[in-house]
Each structure stands twice: as structure tokens, then as C-alpha cells.
Structure 1
């Protein structure tokens, strides 16, 4: 049986979906999505994912979908901006919580999104450009949002420079970003308010039905065996 190759990419600034590694003194990419791709390949031996060792910003990934240059994107939410570009397979890959980070010296302790709305321009929430959380925050309405930065490091630096009051990012991912930046004594995480979101595998809308079935069946099997949960739990903070 001929091998089916599905084209993908490693999304930049999306840890722990994709994580920069050093294997055998050479750069490599790992993370939740790479582990899921390898697990699917193990179950479906005639299916192979290509491109998960190549970094690409999210906006370029979407552009490649529009140009029929990418077949699969791993870990996206059920949002109109996503479903416009690709179809989401029904089996959730994992569920994350979105947390807010603030400066340690900031006494703010909001309990709801209304508390933040009332802050007006003193309650700017920063997020990463092109990420689904930007759409979600806009949909909540009445919030001041700055989505100009393209990485967690940039937003954490902006937070410390008081160019925004909050930084909103997913967990797992947020704590690792703060630790990696060396800001553990300067930035703290809030318990509330918080959002939970399911993430899915997105595929090209005109992907062949037999290929779609192969991926669907593999994800269902991984879910039933608890393998998707096991993979995700390896990256919990």
C-alpha cells in the first residue's frame, strides 16, 4: 500500500504544542502535537506527517492552507476564523485553561471579566497575534486588547514595562514561558477569571475522504486507549 504523506508545520510560539529540542546535538522539534503525529503514524503505518520539524508562524500556516500547501494543523479551537480555513475533526486532542498574568507588584485581583471591563484603558489584556485567544477575548466584548506581539517573551516584557495590565495565554504553556524568560519573581498568575477551550486537529477541507477516515479512526482509537490524555499529561505544568 502506498504511503500517504500529509503536509503540516510546527507552529511558532505555541509551546507545549511544539517545543524546540536538542537531540544528538542537533536542533529538533517535539511537543504534544509531534507526539500525536507519531502516535497516529504508529497506528496507521501507511500514513506519514511531513513538516512538523519546520517552524512556521500561525498566519503563514493559514496562508499555506488557502494556497493548498498544507493539509493538517494541530491544536486549533472551534472558531469561525479557523473553520473558514479548514475542517475540524470531531475528537478533541486536549483541553487547556487560559490564565492571566500580572506583575508581582500589581495588587489587582479581578474575579470576573466585568471587573476587567471596568478598568477601561487601565485593563489592557495582551495576547499573541494570530492566536485563537484573541478572537475569544474580542467575542467577550468590552475588553481592551493588545494583540501586536508575536511571542510570549515579547508580551511578558511588555507586561513588565507596564505596556499592558494583563497577559492572557494558555496553560500548559504560560508557566513554562515565564520560567524560560527568568521572570518567575516578577510575574504572577491569577486564579480568576479563567477560560477553558478544547483544541482539535484541523485538516484541508478537500482532503480525500479515505485519508480523512484514516486520521479520524486513529484519533478515536488513541482517545479510547487514553493515549491522547497520556500525551497531554506529559506536558502539564
Structure 2
């Protein structure tokens, strides 16, 4: 069955050209930020790692900031395990630098007034702290909040655990949940039955917002540059960014 196919993360994944040539993306129902986040609601972005909030949701965040919506960002981890064995980016440096990169990215989105909370859960360890994260989120959320986080079946363990914890906290508090695919674009294929396309909506980005999002990603120096100390290419290599820096974003409502 299609729904039982494994999610494969090897190689460069599904080319962006395949996604853009698929009529299904263009056919998604369009939705605006004002419909996603009503005037009297706070938008709470819950990101497993620094950069997920920009890669998956940066355009939405920028548009909401321009509309003067109340914004909050929960950084679940500090992303300090992104460069295993690196002498250029050891854990200690990443733990310091990645939150700095986040602040710079938010400024480039014109969203520097975001209320930021760092959970400081271990990078790669979110599933083991899922209950703890759920309880902390429950204490933060309000019934009028609209909470945006990574999809519960996105493929990355931290993304999925964050999605599950956020969903549980929304259920307990009455907050509205919106999920965002990030790694999905790598392992899935156009029309993939494992993806809830019926819940998918398309958020178009005007030229200014799109430019701000692209500029914000450049703030994540640790992620966009190759690592000569290990010989590994950038975590956010060009083929990854191609799929995440479109002039629209997709959310699951």
C-alpha cells in the first residue's frame, strides 16, 4: 500500500522541479494570514531547531508581523547537534551561536518583537522529553492562540515529537493547531498518499516577504556553509533550500 511506503532520507530527495511540475501544488486552496490567525489571536511558533521557524513558516511570520499580530516563538532545542565531530562547529559553539542566528533571522523578517522562549531540550532528544515538553507548552498556551509547528509525521524525530507534544498541548488548552511540512518535501513525492493533502493550504508570499525570508535564512551561517573540518556539505545545501524557499508556503489546517 502507498501509505506504508518507507520514508527515504538518502540522497538529495525529491527534486524541486518535480514538485513545481505537479499541478497539485498550484491547485491547493489559497489561504491568507488573516484567516489563519484572527485579529484577537496570538500566533505561537514552535520550532524543533533554530531555523525551522524560518524555513517552514518564515513567510507567515513576516506577514503576521507586518499586520502587527502578537507573536511568540518557542525554540525547543538549541540545535547544537547539527555538526557531529566538527572542530569548526563543536557543540559549545553551536549552543551559543544558533540562538544568535535566530535573533538575526527574526530581525531580517522584521519580526524582532517576537516573544522568544528557549526550552533547551537536547537536540535529537525531543522524543525522550516529549511529556515534559507537552506540560511546558500547556502552561504557555491560551485557548485563543493559533499554534504553528512541524507536522507530526514530518519524518525527523525531533519534528515529529515536537508536533505530537504541541498537538497534545493544543488539545488540552483549546488552542488552534496548524502543522507545517519541512522534511516532507525530501522524502515524499507529488500526490503521495502519506501526506494529508486535503488539509493542505497554500500561503502565497509577495515579493517583499519572499525576499525577507530568503535573507533571513542567510542568517543561519552554521547551517548554510560547508564544513571543511569534516568535509561535509552544508546542512542546508542548495537542493534542500530549493524546496523550502519557494514564493509560497504550505500548511496543514
**Whose helix proportion is higher, 1 or 2?**
2
**Whose strand proportion is higher, 1 or 2?**
1
Structure with max Cα Rg: 1
Fold in common (TM above 0.5) = no
Q: TM-score, normalised by structure 1?
A: 0.30
Q: TM-score, normalised by structure 2?
A: 0.29
